[in-house]
């Protein structure tokens, strides 16, 4: 396959991308112009065990390791973080409980909110006040700080988050508390808002820094265990699509909450751009969930994410997650309806066909339908137990008065519906027509459901990467090194001055260059990208636009306004060019680009896929049970064409080509599917 003939334009580097999922740990090794992939079951109790075992099995002894981690995510979602205290301005101790007036479920009168990560007995208010200009009104005293230290020692807090009301304008009081906490006899894990998120909005800022403190102790311990075996050069994938040092990830783990899914989007976008399809919708269907993202010629980011009910304000790739994975459990609810997920069988015990668990999952349904081959799973390294699934499926079918095959098809329809809703939420609900995009499925299960999803949504084509099951690991390996900086400025009208903005940006850029040079990165490879958070005056939310180039003040105002109006029209369906706008935040991204693998395009050959045909199998579709040819993915070559129904198998994934669809191998080794 073309993916085994990757060439790099300059000196050879060995880079290992590692992505830990809920069911499998994926490893991608880029070395000497070749891509080697490996997959093994995850070890949920200690993810590092699976990583080190996988690296050992690849035979890699030294390399640049980049890791997409779910440790911070799992600690947050499972409530397994540190005992966390919040230190804030007196009178604002309950900011986490008060939050915003927006209701997540408007008509649910019994809605349960996520509990505050810093409970009331661990929230401390200090007498200090800085006003909206950054001027100190009430100074913070050493006496009150020492009183705080005594209370923290009594509370047995393992982590402390510090977030004063206007610390984003003047950091002096947070720095005083930080110095005192560091000098404690047994210092806790410390997180301060002026370092994590120096922006206005006290609730979102406090929530972000508390999340950072809550997962920080777990993450720093985990990375410490990995740095020994893997080396000090270990880098961690951020939620924004770039990597950072393990040290910075230990200090600001909130930036890694969507680490693994971000790697998938980076890998999918790189693959699609190389193939000539810049507008894509990604579908990453793994073992426990499905992550979807829309990329209209670029990877979209957000700074207003909500994970597990907790607002997080650091930059993240705009990813929507639903509990619809291969391990999602199927059951009948109290009303007699078939339900799939969000609960998952995970890696242990896993789907019933793995031989340990006794709960049916989407993977079990696909096995029963013939879409998975029991003796060829993971390239034949793992055998699936179909007989075990048949008995359990019969029991489930009897509960809904249906046949075994119809029940399995029903499980697929339900999980597909969950994914369809997720795709609509990131496309149609945001002003994008999915019919104008290419679907890029990946993860272990994505390519099995892609044809059904595309047909329901009217998506005209599907691009299945050459190694869909490990695409997130590949994305992690090729991700650029990126650091994000932000600053609240609140400028409008006469204050909107290019000199002022350039001074602010230059200060942020200088800080970025010093910090990244301290990490051993060459200054001539650093590229700064500038952005603005803009809103209508009086509006309560912002949209991010590029900082425009231009010279005069009039040009600047018009360029910013035009960019904002266009973005507002796209997002909300209307825009008023007569209304004044306001710049709220400045954002800077400092990038150091990593060399990307370049696949030499192959010349199309014979259309017949006969050399890759290894057999046929009975596969159940909505149209009935159909004999379907089975193709070995690695044996397909550029120009080969296949018609559905068919199965295309490989070590890391299976692609199901449903009746009415056909596929062609493109010059880059991708499988391009379209309706006949």
Which token pair is 309? 């009910």
Residues 653/444, Cβ–Cβ less than 8 Å? yes
Share of the chain above pLDDT 90, in %: 65
**Rounded to an integer, what distance in angstroms lies between the CA atom of residue 392 and that of residue 165?**
56
Which helix (H) or strand (E) element contains residue 354?
A: none
Rg (CA), the chain: 26
The dihedrals phi and psi of 591, each to the nearest 5 degrees, come to -110, 145
What does the pLDDT read at residue 554?
62
- DSSP category for residue 572: H
Q: Identify which of 414-418, 492-496, 604-608 has the greatest average pLDDT.
A: 414-418
Average confidence (pLDDT) over 554-579: 87
Listed residue (626, 669, 281, 662) closest to 453, CA to CA: 281
Angle at alpha carbon of residue 122, lines to 121 and 124, rounded to 5°: 100
Please choose, from the candidates 90, 571, 72, the residue with its C-alpha nearest in 3D space to the C-alpha of residue 310. 72
pLDDT of 551 reads: 63
**Cβ(519)–Cβ(245) under 8 Å?**
yes
Nearest alpha carbon to residue 448 among 525, 392, 378, 369: 369
Task: Determine the pLDDT at residue 202.
Answer: 93
Q: Model confidence over 36-95: pLDDT tens digits? A: 888 888 888 888 888 999 988 888 878 889 999 888 888 888 888 999 999 999 999 999
**pLDDT for 661-674, tens place per residue?**
999 999 999 999 99
Enumerate the β-bridge partners of residue 582: 492, 535
Domains of the chain, CATH where assigned: 77-220 (no CATH), 481-592 (3.30.1490), 610-675 (no CATH)
Q: What's the gap between Cα 518 and its chain centre?
A: 27
* 567-594 confidence digits (pLDDT tens): 999 888 889 988 989 999 999 999 998 8
Give the separation between CA 204 and CA 195, rounded to whole angstroms: 14
pLDDT of residue 552: 60
Average the pLDDT over each of 61-70, 87-96, 161-170, 277-286 and give the range with the smallest value.
61-70
pLDDT band at 7 (very low <50, low <70, confident <90, very high): very low
| Contact in structure between 657 and 451 (CB atoms under 8 Å) | yes
Rounded percentage of the chain residues whose pLDDT exceeds 70: 97
Could you give the CA distance from residue 386 to residue 251 in angstroms, rounded to a whole number? Answer: 46
609 pLDDT tier (thresholds 50, 70, 90)? very high
Q: Yes or no: say if 125 and 89 are a contact pair by the CB < 8 Å rule.
A: yes
**Whole-angstrom distance, CA of residue 503 vs CA of residue 232:** 35
Degrees to nearest 5, angle at CA 52 with 48 and 57: 145
Return the pLDDT at 33.
Answer: 64
DSSP state of 257: T
Asked if residue 347 has pLDDT above 90, the reply is: no
pLDDT at 2 over 60: no
State how far the Cα of 328 lies from the Cα of 339, in Å rounded to an integer.
10
Tell how strand 646-649 and strand 624-632 pair up: parallel
Q: How many helices (H) and strands (E) does the chain have?
A: 16, 36
Average pLDDT, the chain: 90
The pLDDT of residue 362 is above 90: yes
Q: How many whole angstroms separate alpha carbon 313 and alpha carbon 320?
A: 16
| Local structure of residue 347 (DSSP, 8 states) | T
Q: Is the pLDDT of residue 209 over 70?
A: yes
Quickly state the pLDDT bin for 5 (edges 50, 70, 90): very low
Angle between helices 172-182 and 142-155 (to 10 degrees): 50
Alpha-helical (H) ranges within 120-168 are 142-155
pTM for the model stands at 0.90
Distance from C-alpha of 19 to C-alpha of 39, rounded to nearest angstrom: 10
Structure tokens at 501: 């903005």
| pLDDT at residue 553 in the model | 59
Please write the tens of the pLDDT for every residue from 447-465. 999 999 999 999 999 999 9
- Residue 28 gets the label, from left (phi > 0), alpha (psi -120 to 50) or beta, of beta
Mean local confidence (pLDDT), 622-650: 95
Q: What gap in Å lies between CA 357 and CA 158, rounded to an integer? A: 36
Please state the rounded mean pLDDT for residues 638-658.
Answer: 94
Strand partners of residue 291: 284, 321
- Supply the DSSP symbol for 627: E
- For residue 643, the tally of other CB atoms under 10 A from its CB is 14
Three-state DSSP state, 214: helix
pLDDT at 10: 39
Asked if residue 628 lies in contact with residue 645, where contact means CB atoms within 8 angstroms, the answer is yes
- Residues present in the chain in total: 676
pLDDT in tens, 103-121: 777 788 877 788 899 999 9
Q: In this structure, is the dihedral angle defined by the CA atoms of residues 495, 499, 501 and 507, taken in order, positive or negative?
A: negative
């Amino acid at each position: 396959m073309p993916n085994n003939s990757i060439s790099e334009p300059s000196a050879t580097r060995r880079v290992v991308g590692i992505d830990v999922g809920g069911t499998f740990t994926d490893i991608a090794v880029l070395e000497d112009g070749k891509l080697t992939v490996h997959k093994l079951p995850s070890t949920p109790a200690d993810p590092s065990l699976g990583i080190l075992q996988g690296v050992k099995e690849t035979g890699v002894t030294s390399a640049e390791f980049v890791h997409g981690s779910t440790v911070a995510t799992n600690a947050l979602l499972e409530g397994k973080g540190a005992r966390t205290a919040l230190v804030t301005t007196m009178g604002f101790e309950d900011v986490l409980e008060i939050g915003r007036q927006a209701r997540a479920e408007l008509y649910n009168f019994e809605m349960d909110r996520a509990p505050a990560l810093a409970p009331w007995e661990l929230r401390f208010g200090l007498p200090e006040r800085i006003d909206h200009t950054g001027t100190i009104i009430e100074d913070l005293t050493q006496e009150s700080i020492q009183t705080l230290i005594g209370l923290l020692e009594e509370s047995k807090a393992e982590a402390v988050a510090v977030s004063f009301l206007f610390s984003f304008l003047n950091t002096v009081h947070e720095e005083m508390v930080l110095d005192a906490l560091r000098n404690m006899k047994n210092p806790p894990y410390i997180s301060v808002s002026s370092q994590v998120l120096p922006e206005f909005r006290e609730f979102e800022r406090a929530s972000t820094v508390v999340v950072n403190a809550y997962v920080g102790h777990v993450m720093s311990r985990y990375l410490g265990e990995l740095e020994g075996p893997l080396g000090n050069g270990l880098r961690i994938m951020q939620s924004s699509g770039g990597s950072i040092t393990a040290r910075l990830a230990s200090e600001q783990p909130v930036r890694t909450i969507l680490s693994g899914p971000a790697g998938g989007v980076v890998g999918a976008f790189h693959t699609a751009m190389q193939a000539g399809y810049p507008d894509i919708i990604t579908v990453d269907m793994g073992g426990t969930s499905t992550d979807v993202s829309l990329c209209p010629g670029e990877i979209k980011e957000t700074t207003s994410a909500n994970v597990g009910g907790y607002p997080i304000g650091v930059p993240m790739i705009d990813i929507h997650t639903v509990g619809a994975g291969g391990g999602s459990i199927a059951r009948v609810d109290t009303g007699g309806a078939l339900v799939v997920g969000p609960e998952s069988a995970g890696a242990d015990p896993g789907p019933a066909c793995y031989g340990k668990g006794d709960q049916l999952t989407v993977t079990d349904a696909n096995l029963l339908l013939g879409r998975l081959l029991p003796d060829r799973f993971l390239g034949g390294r793992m055998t699936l137990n179909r007989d075990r699934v048949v008995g359990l499926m019969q029991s489930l079918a009897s509960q809904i008065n249906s046949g075994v095959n119809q029940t399995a098809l029903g499980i697929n329809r339900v999980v597909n519906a969950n994914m369809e809703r997720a795709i609509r939420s990131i496309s149609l609900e945001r002003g994008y027509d999915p019919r104008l995009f290419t679907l890029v499925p990946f993860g272990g299960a994505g390519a099995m459901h892609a044809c059904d999803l595309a047909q329901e949504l009217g998506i005209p084509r599907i691009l299945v990467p050459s190694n869909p099951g490990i695409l997130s690991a590949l994305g992690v390996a090729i991700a650029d090194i990126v650091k994000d900086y932000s600053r609240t400025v609140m400028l409008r009208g006469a204050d909107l001055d290019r000199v002022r903005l350039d001074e602010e940006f230059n200060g942020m850029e200088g800080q970025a260059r010093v910090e990244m040079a301290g990490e051993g990165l060459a200054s001539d490879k650093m590229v700064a990208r500038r952005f603005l958070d803009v809103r209508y005056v009086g509006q309560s939310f912002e949209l991010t636009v590029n900082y425009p180039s231009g010279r005069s003040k009039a040009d600047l105002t018009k360029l910013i306004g035009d960019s904002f109006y266009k973005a507002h029209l796209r997002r909300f369906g209307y825009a008023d060019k007569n209304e004044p706008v306001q710049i709220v935040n400045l954002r800077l991204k400092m990038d150091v680009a990593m060399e990307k693998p370049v696949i030499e395009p192959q010349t199309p050959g014979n259309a017949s896929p006969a050399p890759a045909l290894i057999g046929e199998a009975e596969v159940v579709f909505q149209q009935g049970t159909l004999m379907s040819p089975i193709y070995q993915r690695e044996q397909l070559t550029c120009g080969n064409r296949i018609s559905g129904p068919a199965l295309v198998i490989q070590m890391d994934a299976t692609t199901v080509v449903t009746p009415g669809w056909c596929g062609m191998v493109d010059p880059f080794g991708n499988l391009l599917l379209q309706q006949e």
